Structure 1
Amino acid sequence: MLFKTLILLAGTAAVGHAAPSPQGPSADGIPRDVLTQIPSWGPNPTNLQLHLYAPSTLTGKPSIILALHGCFGTGPGHAAMTQGFQTLSSSRNFVVLYPSSINDNNCWDVASLSSLTRDGGGDSTGLATIVRWASTTFNADPKRVFITGSSSGCMMSNVMASAYPDLFSAVSCYSGVPAGCLAGSPGSSPISADQTCANGGIRKTGEEWAAVVKAMAPLPEGKGKGKGKGREWKYPKVQTWHGDNDFFVNYFHNFEEQLKQWGTIHEVEFTRNETSVPVPGYTKMVYGDGTKLVGYSASGVGHVVPQHEVVDLEWFGI
């Protein structure tokens, strides 16, 4: 079963991207309307690669979406699987960043202390540098920077929201685990990792999970909301998706633990289910008034939950 799943993931990640012809570079020198590789953007401690898509209609202070692939994947492969973002980027004025991890079977490092620490020199540091570079290059609205990812990309989305909460306003990720769930594992891929987390064996209270999040980014002096010892980061709102037929990353516990983690961070509790939302077979799980945390449980869906780009953009507010 594991071997077949790996083949499936590797196959979907290898899909090519049929990009339109470029319209020529803009003032920033980056071609428009085509997936473009960026050779350099600043410090890159783990040798990440970067492709991006910027529409020719980009104006004013656009939004930025950081979109992260799963294990065995690439940025271009993930772009091919989420083409709805490129299609909608023109009318909704945003740039999509598609980085690639080239280490540990192309999985994002969500296990090492360096990556689970703000500015620690791991994958998370490289991704933060990409976001800052893109925000400056495209003169983006700093309050309209978002992150999404699938599988390993979802795991890293939760880590980025924890280690760099000041960079993102919202998260929407698919088939992941709580931030810090793989801490201390020898690797982050299905081949190198301790499987306890993926199998649903890491269970914590909401308060314990919240402490894991807050430990990734100690609050600098003068930052955050509140006063004195009560100051804290303003964390991005979170939307997480998981298929109940996922036996690759255990649904029953990892989905619950993610919701527990972010529910505690945002101080919201489960309030209601909305069935057949956004489509039949899906259930929307609302926490509080639904503005800070929601989950989507997909009945009969396995590890690869299809990206719902329109719902993601609605959650992002773009």
Structure 2
Amino acid sequence: MSFKWLSTLAVALTGLTSVQAVAATPQNTLTLIPTSVWNPANPSNPNSIELRVYEPNNVKANPAIILALHWCGSSGPEYFGATTYAQYADEMGFVVLFPSSQKDNNCWDVATPATLTRNGGGDSHDLSRIVAWAKGAYNANPSKVFVTGTSSGCMMSNVMSATYPDLFDAMSCYSGVSAGCLAGSPGSSPTTADPTCAMGNNIKTPAQWKAVAQAMYPGYTGKYPRIMTIHGDQDFFVHIKNFEEQLKQWSAIHGESLKQTKVNTPFAGWTKYKYGNGKNLVGYKVAGVGHFVLAEEQLDLSWFGL
């Protein structure tokens, strides 16, 4: 089902550029999807989320869907311009969702009970509505729905994986924190948040982190998304200690322990942390890099099985 009849937004390709070479520019611009279309149950949009979609000309039958979440102070169009997911969509026929947060310094809410509770009415709830709409609109393959993001987007990717684990097959993200790390904070942005989490001082056992995630969807006994998380070892803005806390959380959720670390994998300066057989949880620590590890889209798509 095509939505190219909706009003479109011409996007300036601004913001950070990908470390990967871009072979071609996307064939289409982003399409603005009105709130009344993706969220007819609540078109007033109290969470102030806008949705723009990258729909390539050659959308496959039953395509994959990727929810791509921007960092604080940014937007969906900027994340579109800073990554090459759209170029790969042109080649492979999947659809990319680029929502925008427009409150709390354009950060995703990863702190309030509303967003840390399934169907609680917060940002996570609206993002789940966006994914549900896209699955129906494009007749998507339900086993090929993914979430990715950077910084605040990575934090929300962890939250989405805990609150709506049944929506996603896999997650990848960059420079984030565990699901629930910011719970109870007065805000989710650098200027409004309790700094305890970002500074890496919210330390829990794996069992404690598992309980935090499971409390977001009480009673759920199904499978959780496969998790890949990436972090720079010189990140003192969202401290590298949060990398370990994420791995604690998801290793407990998946019931897997660290089996192998391998340096210079898949790139020089990267260390891979493989849990179990490496199919459900991996982490990558990037040497000498601070905040904003730039997206490695080919790595993401390989993790997604695309």
Residue of structure 2 in register with 1:53 after alignment: 54
Q: Secondary structure at the match of 2:198?
A: coil
Matched with 1:78 is 79
User: What residue is the counterpart of 2:139 in the other structure?
Assistant: 139
What is the SS of the residue equivalent to 2:197? coil
Judge conservation of contact 2:65–2:135 (CA < 8 Å) in 1.
yes
Looking at structure 1, the residues matched to 206 and 254 of structure 2 have their Cα atoms a distance apart, in angstroms, of 11
Distance 1:148 1:63 in 2: 13
Instruction: Flag the 1:270–1:116 CA change in 2: closer, same or farther, 3 A.
Output: same
Query: Is contact 1:14–1:74 with CA below 8 Å preserved after alignment?
Result: no
Aligned to 1:228: none
Opposite residue 75 of structure 2, the aligned amino acid is T
| Pairwise CA distance, 1:274 | 1.9
Percent of aligned positions that are identical: 53
Deviation at 1:34, TM superposition (A): 2.0
Paired residue secondary structure (2:195): coil
- Runs of 4+ aligned residues of structure 1 deviating over 6 Å after TM superposition are 19-22
Q: Deviations over 1:224-280 (max 9, x none)?
A: 6xxxxxxx12100100000001010110x2000000000000011111112212211
Query: Does structure 2 retain, via aligned residues, the 8 Å contact 1:13–1:72?
Result: no
Q: CA deviation at 1:21?
A: 8.4
Report the number of matched residues. 283
Q: Which residue of 1 aligns with 2:302?
A: 314
2:146 & 2:265 partners in 1: Cα distance? 22
Specify the SS of the correspondent of 1:196. Answer: helix
Residues 14 and 275 of structure 1: CA distance in aligned 2, closer, same or farther (over 3 Å):
closer
Match of 1:280 in 2: 268
Q: In structure 2, what is the Cα distance between the partners aligned to 1:21 and 1:98? A: 14
Query: Match for residue 193 of structure 1?
Result: 193
**What amino acid sits opposite 2:303 in the alignment?**
W
Structure 2, gaps ≥5 residues long: 1-12, 18-23
What is the aligned partner in structure 2 of residue 249 from structure 1?
238
Contact 1:45 1:126 in 2 (8 A): no
Instruction: Give the TM-score of the pair, scaled to structure 2.
Output: 0.89
The 3 A distance-change label for structure 1 pair 15 and 203 is closer
1:164-187 C-alpha deviation (Å, 9 max, x unpaired): 000000000000010000000000
Question: In structure 2, what residue type is equivalent to 1:74?
Answer: S
Structure 1, unmatched stretches of 5+, are: 1-11, 23-32, 225-231
> Match for 1:240: what amino acid?
T
Q: Which secondary structure does the structure 2 equivalent of 1:277 belong to?
A: coil
Q: Measure, in 2, the Cα distance between the counterparts of 1:176 and 1:160.
A: 13
TM-score of the aligned structures, taking structure 1 as reference length? 0.86
Q: Structure 2 matches for 1:294-305, cutoff 5 A?
A: 294-305=282-293
Structure 2 residue identity aligned to 1:247? F
Instruction: Tell me how large the CA RMSD over aligned residues is.
Output: 1.8
